[in-house]
Amino acid sequence: MSSTDFALAVEDLTVSFDGFKAIDDLTLYVDKNELRVIIGPNGAGKTTLLDLICGKTKASGGSIKFKNEEILQIPEHKRVRLGIGRKFQTPSIYENLSVLQNLEVSYPSGRSVWGALAFKATPDISARVQAVAAEIGLSDKLDTEAGLLSHGQKQWLEIGMLLMQEPELLMLDEPIAGMSAKERDLTAELLHRICQNRAVIVIEHDMDFVKKIAHKVTVMHQGKILAEGPMEQVQADPKVIDVYLGH
């Protein structure tokens, strides 16, 4: 497969913090419609890798191509416009706005959060809100104030806010942290749905959940890739057991 076919092509990526290489000459390719899970011990560089892809952290060297376009020099807010969405662990929803309003304010070039109450949505925006609400399982909660949602529902709403921008690459950092067993199952189903139209990268520590969602698993260790492949293969890899799964 030539690199033109990948949603994301990371090559020879390096970042140093005061001489310490948190990401060390790392190469990674993610297909369109692929759900990739990144695992590895604490400090392996997983979060730093996502920070580099979304533009929060500047790389020291290497290349990051999104849909075959070099994005290394492109600032974070422009990468969002290109179609790269990133969800952090803490939800950043507007607790005082309804689910509907949270989704509406997330529409690209939509109104600001300050104008939320006086806002009249166009048919395009309303249609997108309905579709996204159905995708995240919150169709019956559109008028609910976001602050009243359960922890899991807040996480799904934030994913929905990212989906409003129709990202072609969505990155999620430990999406099931703090969720109940039922919420975890629903999140697995949600991730299966949303990777049908885009590439998704998930950082996760819960191996049962990884098994449920991953198309392929990348194991990181000390800023490098230790192993990569289907979960069964990675799980049986003595190197992976030694540095991570055996602990």
Ligand X SMILES: Nc1ncnc2c1ncn2[C@@H]1O[C@H](COP(=O)(O)OP(=O)(O)OP(=O)(O)O)[C@@H](O)[C@H]1O
Residues in contact with 142: Cβ distance below 8 Å, sequence separation at least 6, in sequence order: 98, 99, 100, 129, 133
Closest separation in Å from C-beta 42 to ligand X: 3
Closest separation in Å from C-beta 88 to ligand X: 12
For 241, list phi and psi in degrees, rounded to 5.
Answer: -60, -40
Q: Name the residue nearer to ligand X (CB basis): 38 or 132.
A: 38
Closest separation in Å from C-beta 232 to ligand X: 23
Closest separation in Å from C-beta 56 to ligand X: 10
Q: Name the residue nearer to ligand X (CB basis): 148 or 177.
A: 177
154 touches 91 (CB < 8 A): yes
Closest separation in Å from C-beta 201 to ligand X: 13
Closest separation in Å from C-beta 44 to ligand X: 4
Q: Name the residue nearer to ligand X (CB basis): 107 or 209.
A: 209
- Rg of the Cα atoms in the chain: 18
Q: Name the residue nearer to ligand X (CB basis): 104 or 204.
A: 204
Closest separation in Å from C-beta 92 to ligand X: 18
Q: Name the residue nearer to ligand X (CB basis): 127 or 177.
A: 177
How far is Cα 10 from Cα 147, in angstroms, rounded to an integer? 38
Q: Name the residue nearer to ligand X (CB basis): 45 or 110.
A: 45
Which residues here bind ligand X, judged by CB under 6 A? 17, 22, 40, 42-48
Q: How far from each other are the two terminal CA atoms of the chain, in whole angstroms?
A: 36
Q: Name the residue nearer to ligand X (CB basis): 192 or 224.
A: 224
